[in-house]
Structure 1
Amino acid sequence: MADRRRINGPIGATTPPVYEAVPKRPAAKQQPAMRKIFLKTGVTPSASGSAYLELENPNQTSPQKTSLKLACTVHGPRALPRSAPFSPHIILTTHVKYAPFATRKRHGYLRDSSERDLGVHLETALRGAIIADRWPKSGVDIIVTIIEGDQDRDAPHNEDDQGWDMMNVLSGCITVASAAIADAGIDCVDTVAGGVAALVSRDDAAQPVIVVDPVVAENQKIHAACCVAYLPTRDEVTNVWFKGQLPGADILLYNKMVEKSLIACRSANRVVIQGLNETVKNVQNTT
């Protein structure tokens, strides 16, 4: 009599199942135009978490050429004032500010419209990564200081090309803020990273091409640019900022720009993971 309390095995011999191996997708090749990223966490001991990011200068013979240097500090999580209404999730506040000497055009002490736009996009990108319901009635302040903007200081000031460097600045702000949040010990579903792709023309006779991590000073004209905030492990996009105009409003060209931006996001995320691993090893060695 069969035992009904357990699942009996087959009576005769069986053949183990054979699963078809799914071929892995070829990894996207990193374009040589992508600049190297330097990232270090724990640069501000007084803050809950901090990070510093710097992009490699593409022209080593001229130190005055374009570069990007960012510093981020995270303060919190901390309790909200008693007068504040109850919030079941954490209140995220982002503040992006150019240093007065960061770009060719000197910035004042009060935030202008471009800095407020960067703060709004940064908050949207980070909100999708932080597990907000683990910190009820709490607040966290994320402050990003742009020490040097992504502009060529030797080039004359041109009103037509203003704003393209903001795409690279936002990408760096997302990456450095993600590292600072992880350094502060705030729970996140994944590390978010930023990446940029642009449709550029080298000269008047050349056809527009899509490049990853574009350098504004090296291209004669930029038709459109796309900045993406991406969670690599979850394969989710938390923010997309597109600027410019595509020829013929080609949706396929738009999709290619987003795909190229994801390549830059994955490259930046590897730098974030490596920087956090080095921080953990240093803490373990000191203890």
Structure 2
Amino acid sequence: MTDRRRINGPAAATIPPVYLDDVVEEQKATRLIRSRPSDALRKLYLKTGVTPSASGSAYLEIETTFKSGVSGLKLSCSVHGPRSLPKSAPFSPHIILSAHVKYASFATKQRRGYIRDSSERDLSVHLETALRGAIIADRWPKSGVDIVVSIIEGDQDRGEAAGTGDETWDIMNVLSGCVTVASAALADAGIDCVDTVAGGVSALVVDEAGAESVVMDPVPSEHGKIMAACCVAYLPTRDEVTNLWFKGNLEVSDAQWYTELVQKGIQASRSANRVLVQCLNDTVKLRG
């Protein structure tokens, strides 16, 4: 029996039809414009201590682009622990790390469900791998820590039709932000780490003339075509990569593109790490 008193909204965002040719041509032209240099990142806002009930928390927001309808990335992370494992759990000489990444139902143009899908599980696995290389795990034997990242708003162009393929590249920026905000939350919780880990993204793009180039912090709505993308979780002081995620179709013989993508990803993570360190320094000064 159906509920006649409940009116469900559309599954995805709806856009009113536009019949003006000039407006359509203007939207196509603005898609291929990148106002930033190829090695410049969008502005980041990072703040810790946003969730008082958690052991540590952080909030990350990335600047939106000049194009209307393109939302910036907004992430919230909370850390619960370290806390002792239940007595029924087997003994572990190191801390048990658990990462959970979930989109809010309104975070993307395609409405998300309440149960995690495959993309969210992939993000959780990569985030856990990136953080595992930074935490000093043997400091807390038989203990566990839960890291929960909520994606409040995804880095997507809501004006584009669903199924255009931009979601494949947007998820790389999401993982980069998850690594950075989780690292800030771990530091806010007082969990010892060997270094502050930050995420960076680089992509191989093709412009209108067919020229290929590698850019940092790519936004799919600003480029005509993205051939490949690379997300790097990097420890700057130790000069170590804790996680590397590559997506795209490149020939095996194009080794120079692989190398340049990783180098640009490391450079992007270094820039994000400077914001992370400055945020932690400001937090220490406020707490006295």
TM-score by length of 1: 0.85
Once the two structures are superposed, the pairs formed by residues 163-202 of structure 1 within 5 Å of their partners are: 163-202=168-207
1:160 is aligned to 165
C-alpha distance in 1 between matches for 2:253 and 2:129? 26
Q: Is 2:279 the partner of 1:272?
A: no
2:216 is aligned to 212
C-alpha distance in 2 between matches for 1:273 and 1:161? 31
Q: Deviations over 1:14-44 (max 9, x none)?
A: xxxxxxxxxxxxxxxx856410110000000
C-alpha distance in 2 between matches for 1:212 and 1:152? 18
* Secondary structure of residue in 1 paired with 2:266: helix
Q: Is 2:48 the partner of 1:41?
A: yes
Q: Is the 8 A contact 2:156 2:167 kept in 1?
A: no
Q: Is 2:138 the partner of 1:133?
A: yes
2:6 is aligned to none
Question: Deviation at 1:162?
Answer: 2.9
Q: Is 2:127 the partner of 1:122?
A: yes
Q: Is the 8 A contact 1:35 1:55 kept in 2?
A: yes
1:257 is aligned to 261
How many residues are treated as equivalent by the alignment? 252
Q: Mind listing any 5+ residue stretches in structure 1 that lack a counterpart?
A: 1-29
1:227 is aligned to 231
Q: Is the 8 A contact 1:44 1:73 kept in 2?
A: yes
Q: Deviations over 1:67-119 (max 9, x none)?
A: 10000000000000000000000000000000000001111000000000000
Letter in 1 for 2:190: G
Letter in 1 for 2:55: S
* Secondary structure of residue in 2 paired with 1:230: strand
Q: Is 2:242 the partner of 1:238?
A: yes
Deviates most, 260-269 or 150-159: 150-159
2:29 is aligned to none
User: Which has the higher Rg, Structure 1 or Structure 2?
Assistant: 1
Question: Deviation at 1:251?
Answer: 1.1
C-alpha distance in 2 between matches for 1:57 and 1:161? 16
C-alpha distance in 1 between matches for 2:39 and 2:270? 15
The equivalent position to 2:73 in structure 1, one of 63, 68, 76, is 68
Letter in 1 for 2:237: T
Question: Deviation at 1:206?
Answer: 2.5
1:55 is aligned to 62
Q: Deviations over 1:153-187 (max 9, x none)?
A: 11111243331100000000000000000000000
Q: CA RMSD in A?
A: 1.3
Letter in 2 for 1:57: T
Q: Mind listing any 5+ residue stretches in structure 2 that lack a counterpart?
A: 1-36
Letter in 1 for 2:50: V
* Secondary structure of residue in 1 paired with 2:243: strand
C-alpha distance in 2 between matches for 1:126 and 1:248? 29
C-alpha distance in 1 between matches for 2:133 and 2:221? 33
Q: Is the 8 A contact 2:70 2:155 kept in 1?
A: no
2:153 is aligned to 148
Question: Deviation at 1:269?
Answer: 0.3
Q: Is the 8 A contact 1:122 1:174 kept in 2?
A: yes
Identity percentage over the alignment? 69
Question: Deviation at 1:202?
Answer: 2.5
1:11 is aligned to none
